[in-house]
Amino acid sequence: MNLNELKYKAGKVSDETFGRGNPVTAPMLKLVEEIAEVIECINKGEDPQVEFADCFLLLVDAYRKYYGDDVDMQTLIDVSSEKLDVVAKRKWGKPDENGVYKHIKE
Give the pLDDT score at 106: 78
How far are the Cα atoms of 7, 26, 37, 43, 55 from residue 46, in angstroms, in the given order? 28, 27, 11, 8, 16
Give the pLDDT score at 38: 98
Q: Do 54 and 34 meet the contact criterion of CB atoms below 8 Å apart?
A: yes
pLDDT averaged over 10-residue windows placed end to end, the chain, 106 residues: 96 94 93 97 98 98 95 96 97 95 92
3-state secondary structure at position 103:
strand
Give the pLDDT score at 11: 95
Give the pLDDT score at 87: 96
pTM for the predicted model, two decimal places? 0.90
How far are the Cα atoms of 45, 62, 80, 94, 102 from residue 55, in angstroms, in the given order? 19, 11, 17, 27, 22
Give the pLDDT score at 22: 87
